[in-house]
Structure 1
């Protein structure tokens, strides 16, 4: 079994992996990512110390499902697209989406994360893993630019500085002819409240980039298509599968706009 010794934000991707695994073990999972459960069982790591519980894992699964749905919509309309899965961690999103064979999929994360992926997950045609910090923009030179692009980033933007985040968007817009960006984002209140997040606190990670209005990114060459807050990204089907405590928490969250908007999933196009 591969051993893992990640620090700071690199360890937080193990928390989301564990969250998806715990969801998969439920009788009525939201995401049903059995590959995540298999990966957790194959990695030599004490996942229980990450601060993810059976109840909190539901929020991980809901967010992933909402992003999957948006990504699937784009790939249905662009079956030959390039996909940039940024800060991919140990996510098996490509397996869940099963994109058309003409799609070229690129998973991008730190070299040690990519090395772990290669130990755990088998290679797949039309999928390439790039070991690099997302903000070391030389990795973009390894990606073709002759087709529309879908850029997916889950649990990444808040760890970037505002300057790095803006530069990432500008470089993507400058490289590709057209595309969409699907990011989850935190508000500035979400950044200020980061130590209330047990995963962030236990990993001793630091969040930087808060976005109160997703239109803010439009000055970098994109146009906002949609923005879903923490209550809106839960489908009726997913809500029906939630435990009673999670349903109550969502209803209470919906009553407080500032709290409801601490986390959003936004989609832009260019």
Structure 2
């Protein structure tokens, strides 16, 4: 797909603008000569957008690529058992997960279902290739009517990458609960920031003099996440996923070891996989 000119993305604001932040981080890491993430579509998309990415400062670290690796790994494991499943990407932003998985999953037959707000869906339509296996729906993920449009006959895997932390606690828990009850047998993966973020950065984390990441009012500790199996009907298992290994001593050895260290388990962030029964 050839892009003619630049596509203006400057109208995105608030949480939707974080789609550009994470896209830029993944593209930056994918360009690295020792890239840990193979994401050529992210590079092509970021090059096609008219936007001042410098406003985000230096938030181009490996964390964004590592998160994508964690989500890709969990999705791939589910698809190995359910090759024709529907992957539901909630508030997907400008993620390019479909094309990474399409290139790596043997004989890809999975279907993709994107739910996001109209400005993001319009950008995706203009920036990303079409596929008969991709369905998009322009609406809030909090309008649970999207569930009725999902084909769950061959299994469902739900991703909420960079989403739940920006919701109010009741909204986030309501979404998890609704997914658990509506899609028995499915799995859901999401990420959360450290629980201290909402306490020490109630107005959001500043990444540069010109940009502040929106507030993150929702987070749970590892112990609270583990308790979901007792407090949310339909949740039958909770898995605390490991941090993938990155590039360099810190991200290859120190950070993954820190992630596994029990004394900090309830204070660090989380990659959480839920099983629904």
Correspondence for 1:65 among 63, 69, 76: 69
CA distance in 1, matches of 2:89, 2:59: 26
SS in structure 2 at match of 1:198: strand
Q: Which residue of 2 aligns with 1:184?
A: 191
State whether residues 190 and 263 of structure 1, in contact with CA within 8 Å, keep that contact through their aligned partners in structure 2. no
TM-score, reference length from structure 2: 0.84
Q: Which residue of 2 aligns with 1:82?
A: 86
Correspondence for 2:162 among 152, 155, 158: 155
CA distance in 2, matches of 1:224, 1:246: 28
TM-score, reference length from structure 1: 0.86
Matching of residue 202 in structure 1 with residue 211 in structure 2: yes
State whether residues 258 and 264 of structure 2, in contact with CA within 8 Å, keep that contact through their aligned partners in structure 1. no
Matching of residue 224 in structure 1 with residue 237 in structure 2: yes
Deviation at 1:261, TM superposition (A): 3.9
Q: Which residue of 2 aligns with 1:214?
A: 225
SS in structure 1 at match of 2:216: coil
Runs (4+) off by over 6 Å: none
* Structure 1 unaligned blocks of 5 or more: none
State whether residues 214 and 224 of structure 1, in contact with CA within 8 Å, keep that contact through their aligned partners in structure 2. no
How many residues were matched structurally?
A: 259
State whether residues 207 and 213 of structure 2, in contact with CA within 8 Å, keep that contact through their aligned partners in structure 1. no
CA distance in 2, matches of 1:92, 1:53: 19
Matching of residue 7 in structure 1 with residue 13 in structure 2: yes
SS in structure 2 at match of 1:188: coil
Deviation at 1:189, TM superposition (A): 1.3
Write out aligned runs for 1:120-269 (5 A).
120-194=127-201, 195-196=204-205, 198=207, 202-203=211-212, 205-212=214-221, 213-218=224-229, 219-220=231-232, 221-228=234-241, 232-235=242-245, 238=246, 242-244=247-249, 246=251, 250=255, 253=258, 257-258=263-264, 261-269=267-275
Deviation at 1:140, TM superposition (A): 2.0
CA distance in 2, matches of 1:173, 1:41: 38
State whether residues 15 and 214 of structure 2, in contact with CA within 8 Å, keep that contact through their aligned partners in structure 1. yes
SS in structure 1 at match of 2:50: coil
CA distance in 2, matches of 1:119, 1:33: 18
Q: Which residue of 2 aligns with 1:43?
A: 49
Deviation at 1:17, TM superposition (A): 0.3
State whether residues 115 and 138 of structure 2, in contact with CA within 8 Å, keep that contact through their aligned partners in structure 1. yes
State whether residues 104 and 127 of structure 1, in contact with CA within 8 Å, keep that contact through their aligned partners in structure 2. yes
* Structure 2 unaligned blocks of 5 or more: 1-5
Task: Render the CA deviation track for 1:61-97: whole Å, top value 9, x for unaligned.
Answer: 0111111011100001111212111111111101111
Q: Which residue of 1 aligns with 2:3?
A: none
Q: Which has the larger displacement, 74-83 or 213-222?
A: 213-222
CA distance in 2, matches of 1:128, 1:251: 35
State whether residues 86 and 157 of structure 2, in contact with CA within 8 Å, keep that contact through their aligned partners in structure 1. yes
Task: Render the CA deviation track for 1:215-251: whole Å, top value 9, x for unaligned.
Answer: 24322221334203xxx3123xx3xxx1356558627
